[in-house]
Amino acid sequence: MSKILSSETWERLRSSGARTVALQFPEGLKRRVPETAAALKEAGYAVIISGDPCYGACDLATDALSLADILIHFGHAPVDDRPGVIYEFVQFDFDPEVAEKATSLLNKDQPVGLITTVQHAHLTDKVAAVLEARGFTIVVGDGNARTPCRGQVLGCSYASARSAGTSQFLYVGTGVFHAIGVGLATGARVVALDPYTGFVQEADASRLIRRRFVQIEKARKAETVGIILSTKTGQRREDLARHLVSLSPVADIICMQEVSPDSLLNLGYDCYVNTACPRLAYDDQVRFPVPVLSPPEYEIVRGVRDWDDYIIDEI
């Protein structure tokens, strides 16, 4: 059987009795669509493709699933697991010995929480063993419905870091976004290790905080505020949107599927509050024409939260 799908997924497909299979790929893997569809058709299945943009398992292709018996969602671990969905996620290997590079920045006298993203989570125990062999005490926190793997974090959920409860963390993954998020969510010191290059750095949240405070100050002058309410399966926070809109008469709830710079520009509000994917405000502010605040940031603008209680937005 084709290697385009894991043997476990082929087995789950067979045992499901499905005849029509919907396929959903994140943007970076979409090029695999035609060959994956061909392999499934060769195996006797009818296929429905989801062609909409997708950046996480919080955005399940319910439209495509409604035309099929089962949905295979590629590239992400489950977020609030739903019936009728098989998650085929992608694992990226690296040499666990790379963890040695991080030892100089970690304190051997205190336990180290180990955190990572889903594509590296299969190597968490091996990384822990490398560090334990060098005398470190390693704690791997449990996940939750949104982050099912041990030690896994998402840009919208740091539950496994809180669960570890350590005062220092090692984040294994590229970039510093997740590491900064863990620092903001837990107050702990976080060391970030790129598992491919071995580059180690301490995650510093202060630049993010400074940038966000600039946006908060700009938003104070807004005469119209759009509260964005996502229509995606795992990003739809209706109660939160209703709470935020109740804080001011100049705010309106805006339903959106995709939050794009063009859409925000066309709507013409002076400021937006993002209740969809938290990364939109933190990562994409430079692409947006006006301030796009997180819910806690907007609470600061409206005076129902103090600067000192700044927290990172999680779903």
- Residues at the site binding its own copies, with contacts judged by CB under 8 A: 22, 27, 30-31, 33-34, 37-38, 41, 47-53, 61, 63-64, 67, 224, 226, 228-229, 231, 238, 249, 252-258, 262-264, 266-269
How far, in Å, CA of 91 to CA of 315, rounded?
24
Which residue, 93 or 238, is less far from its own copies as judged by CB? 238
C-alpha closest to that of 67 among 16, 20, 18, 9: 20
Q: 12 burial class (0-12, 13-18, 19+ CB within 10 angstroms)?
A: middle
CB of 49 to its own copies, least distance (A): 4
How far, in Å, CA of 188 to CA of 166, rounded?
7
CB of 190 to its own copies, least distance (A): 33
CB of 45 to its own copies, least distance (A): 11
Which residue, 4 or 33, is less far from its own copies as judged by CB? 33
CB of 33 to its own copies, least distance (A): 5
How far, in Å, CA of 93 to CA of 161, rounded?
22
Tokens of 208: 């993010």
Which residue, 137 or 231, is less far from its own copies as judged by CB? 231
Which residue, 161 or 244, is less far from its own copies as judged by CB? 244
CB of 281 to its own copies, least distance (A): 16
Which residue, 47 or 128, is less far from its own copies as judged by CB? 47
Which residue, 33 or 209, is less far from its own copies as judged by CB? 33
CB of 40 to its own copies, least distance (A): 10
Whether 264 and 227 have beta carbons less than 8 Å apart is answered as: no
Which residue, 53 or 165, is less far from its own copies as judged by CB? 53
Whether 166 and 141 have beta carbons less than 8 Å apart is answered as: no
CB of 249 to its own copies, least distance (A): 7
Whether 189 and 167 have beta carbons less than 8 Å apart is answered as: yes
Q: Are strands 189-193 and 200-202 parallel, antiparallel or unpaired?
A: antiparallel
Tokens of 313: 């937005």
Which residue, 258 or 283, is less far from its own copies as judged by CB? 258
If you write DSSP's letter for every residue of 138-197 in order, what string do you get?
Answer: EE-----SSS-STTB-BTTB-HHHHHH--SEEEEESSSSHHHHHHHHHH--EEEEE-TTT
- Token look-up 């399966």 returns 233
Provide CB contacts within 8 A for 60, sequence distance 6+: 24, 71, 73, 82, 85, 232, 233, 234
CB of 312 to its own copies, least distance (A): 24
Q: Is 277 helix (H, G, I), strand (E, B) or coil?
A: coil
